[in-house]
């Protein structure tokens, strides 16, 4: 699966986001090394701290389905923003837990451009198990 196909999966799934408060849909498509794609959306809660981001929804679903650290190949994140939509800091830390620093992270904007970064670009000096 190429980055355009993965991003299209993220764009399509964002329609399923539960966003009654922000009206800000986000979709994520997580590509696993075996070729499986697991999607996630943001799920809001009136208590905003209980809200879950699309990226974490995808990762936690993958873990629930038996995948583990090292099984992740790439992630695409889609929203309806003018600039590229990056993952929040909590999601970046979750990615650091499960993924290689060289894992591709694809971001898009409302013009459907795709920016390709490595996880290390989004989270330099990541807090990892090496720091424990």
Give catalytic residue positions. Answer: 55
- Which runs of E-coded beta strand occur in the chain? 26-32, 37-41, 72-79, 104-108, 114-118
Which candidate, 72, 59, 75, 84, places its Cα nearest to that of 6? 75
Residue 88 marked as a ligand binder: yes
Decide if 119 contacts 9 (C-beta within 8 A).
Answer: no
Pick out the residues of the known binding site for Zn(2+): 53, 88, 91
């Amino acid at each position: 699966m190429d980055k355009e196909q993965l991003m299209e999966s993220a764009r399509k799934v964002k329609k399923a986001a539960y966003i009654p408060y922000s009206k800000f849909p986000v979709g994520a498509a997580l590509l696993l090394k075996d070729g499986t794609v697991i999607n996630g959306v943001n799920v809001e809660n009136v208590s905003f701290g209980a809200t879950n981001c699309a990226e974490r929804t995808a990762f936690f679903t993958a873990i629930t389905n038996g995948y583990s650290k090292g099984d992740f190949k790439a992630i695409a994140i889609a929203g309806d923003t003018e600039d590229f939509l990056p993952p929040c800091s909590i999601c970046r830390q979750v990615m650091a837990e499960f993924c290689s620093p060289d894992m591709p992270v694809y971001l898009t904007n409302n013009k459907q451009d795709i920016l390709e970064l490595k996880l290390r670009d989004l989270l330099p000096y990541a807090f990892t198990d090496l720091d424990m």
